[in-house]
Chain A
Amino acid sequence: MSFDAPMPLPAGALKLQGIGKAYRLYGKKWGRALEWMGIGHHHQLHWVLKNIDLELGPGEALGIVGENGAGKSTLLKLVTGVSRPTSGHIEVGGHISALLELGIGFNPAFTGRQNAAHTLRLSGVEDQAIPVLLEGIEAFAELGDYFEQPLRTYSSGMQCRLGFATATAVRPDILIVDEALAVGDVFFQQRCYDRIGAFRESGTTLLFVSHSAQAVFALCERAILLKDGEVAIDAKPRAVIDLYNAQVVARSSGQGVTVIETSPLTEQETDSGAPDDSMDGPGTTGSYTAGAARLIALTVLQDGQPAAAVIANAAMVVRVEVAFLEHVADPHVGLQVRDSRGEVLYRAHTHGLGVSLGDASAGDVIEVDFQLMPHLMPADYTLTVGLGAGGKPGGAIEHSLLRHQDVASFSLVRSPDDDHWDGVVNLQPQVVHRRLAESESGG
């Protein structure tokens, strides 16, 4: 028995150590040929991935977010093995299936059945397993008689259904899904997600690439944000998506917006009026500022008193205090209420609510009260505050100047006289009933 032999990774595990990927750029066309002949050095390395360390256990679900060009596709190519890392080491436990592009390798001249069988062979399926798998594909893709028709007669939705059914015919140990999973109608999409969910329950590890916050929340318990080829953050989906959204705003606004780190304001800080301290230390991700204004305080009140616990079904006030450091034309204050997973339950701003605050000059301090009816399930919620400028017709805002993510929280508690209900939002039903028939024996 050898103690030196490296332990093979268990099925579904994935280990990336110091992964880097660089493409060779040649200045001159002849450069590469000269290098082949051993004459000189003619290329520069263009690094698209740097120092990626990632370890996934069997059954984990990792969301991968990042802007175009951040290195997502390259990372997936390395994991699937179609491309080779320039530095570092990758270990993969078990069999990988990648839903990067559905229907790759399909031939329009052949029937759905022939294409499915061919794709199965392309992914290395043993011959004797194919007939059984084809039955499953036929059932899942729901193509009816079209399964025996040439692919060129298919709609694009049907091709995607066949592609998904074929690519997921065998449960992989690691499944890679690109967000291009907008397949067919909403019912088929639901079945796709159901199948992915069933794989997960059976222990499949998931790598999910997406721009969609909702999908990452729904499928993953962990996420990474890729930025310029590096892992900017590896955390819960909520923190990752928040930072990602802030980066998108910072890049696209062109207003000199920079991403900042903030932490929730505590009672003491708001009271002492020392919000600058809140900029330090570990905190939430997703905040940014353009430097034009500063959040001084955010207070939750009920019955005129600051409250950490708020009674559901009774009016509450969220009070926002903003100090302006520069002149801002037509400023607007926005508010988000999010649940503990990070899902936004409510989002609005003064412009959308038809309120104008008037232009602000340097030194102005504006206080805005949002009076809300928290018709929500008793639970913990966070508040995110934003400042924008320039209300546009249709309720949109020209540009965003400031966002403090999850700056405060409150707990909603059930009031003793509240109805008993379950869900997310209290729809406050009025129940009316009539008896339309009465049996003779009855009352």
Chain B
Amino acid sequence: MLPLGIAQTWAYRRFITGSVMQEFRARYSQSLLGGLWAVLHPLALIVIYSVIFSKLMTTRLPGYAQPYAYTIFLCSGLLLWTFFAELLTRCVGLFVQNGGLLKKVNFPRLTLPLIALFSALLNYLIIMALFFGLLLVAGATPGFEVLGALPVVAIVSGFAVGLGLLGATVNVYYRDVEQFTAVSTQFWFWLTPIIYPVAIVPEQYRYVLEWNPILPLVVAMQDVFLRGTLPHWGSLLYPALIAAASLGLGAWVYFRLGQDMTDEF
């Protein structure tokens, strides 16, 4: 039957890991700084925001004595957001970008979002390792609470892949989705308390941010790394439900509309 099934995808697990490794190596093989660029990009953001905002924000981050408090606060949220936005953007373009391959070779299409997911996770792992280095230097080494970040990353992954699968399928027919994703992630970023704490948002406007399923996730990461506490599990319920719903919706749309996608390439 058609290359939609999940069982076939499992049979292609070595293709998935092989592709992830290939992509990882490709980053290094043809540029001088190679994989460093993957790190330099968020690093530049961190430096810029730290320099510009840390002075403005220190008064607003009361009770944190560490000299790097703002930077740690920023990294916790920003790195998670970068992971989310990159994975989402990449997923949305997947089917269109691989159109040539999809119309020539019969292989399980669901391997593509999985390759994107594992590649993004690998990059996130590397940059988080650097972040841990920073925490060591700052004398803010987190304890076992760090394990609390794992469910957060899992929820973000599911949310990005579900939304991405939905977008990728519609994008086959309407390329507007790619553009829309690029624009809307910009707004989304500023509507998420990543470079500013929720506390500076006036009470009467805070409900505007409540809809945002990324917000509790970012706050959870700040809890883990800045405050050294486990996430408030109850606050993760809403994003977890949204992630599950987006996975379900993405899969439903993909199986309904994606069957004849090769006719469009």
Chain A positions within 8 Å of B, measured between CB atoms, are: 23-24, 32-33, 36, 77, 80-84, 96, 98, 100-101, 104-105, 107, 109-110, 114, 117-118, 121-124, 127, 150
Contacts and interface: CB of A to CB of B under 8 A. Distances in A.
Given A105-B105, A110-B22, A127-B14, A77 B100 contact: no
A122 B105 contact: yes
B104 A101 contact: yes
A33 B174 CA distance: 9
Given A84-B260, A121-B15, A127-B14, A104 B105 contact: yes
Contacts of A117: 18
A81 B106 contact: yes
A100 B1 CA distance: 20
A118 B257 contact: no
Give the 3 A-B CB pairs with smallest separation, nearest first.
A121-B15, A81-B106, A127-B14
Contact of A83 (B19, B22, B105, B262): B262
Interface in B239-265: 257, 259-260, 262-263
A82 B104 CA distance: 7
B101 A83 contact: no
Given A121-B18, A122-B15, A109 B26 contact: yes
A141 B25 CA distance: 25
B259 A107 contact: no
B103 interface: yes
Main SS class of interface, B: helix
Nearest to B26: A109
Contacts of B262: 77, 82-83
Contacts of A24: 260, 263
Contacts of B260: 24, 83-84
A124 B100 CA distance: 18
A83 B107 contact: no
Nearest to A79: B106
Given A101-B104, A110-B22, A83 B15 contact: no
7 contacts: A82-B104, A96-B106, A107-B26, A122-B107, A124-B11, A124-B12, A127-B14
Contact of A114 (B12, B15, B22): B22
B106 A82 contact: yes
Contacts of A32: 173-174
Nearest to A23: B263
Contact of A118 (B18, B30, B100): B18
B107 A124 contact: yes
Contacts of B104: 82, 98, 100-101, 104
Contacts of B22: 107, 110, 114, 118
A107 B98 CA distance: 13
Contacts of B103: 77, 82-83
Contact of B2 (A84, A104, A122): A84
A320 B15 CA distance: 65
Given A105-B101, A114-B22, 5 more contacts: A32-B174, A82-B3, A100-B104, A107-B26, A118-B15
A241 B242 CA distance: 60
A332 B130 CA distance: 84
Which of B2, B103, B262 counts the most A-chain CB atoms under 10 A from its CB? B103
Nearest to B28: A109
Nearest to B106: A81
B97 interface: no
A350 B2 CA distance: 57
B141 interface: no
Contacts of A123: 105, 107
A105 B26 CA distance: 14
A81 B3 contact: yes
Nearest to A114: B22
A104 to B, nearest CB: 5
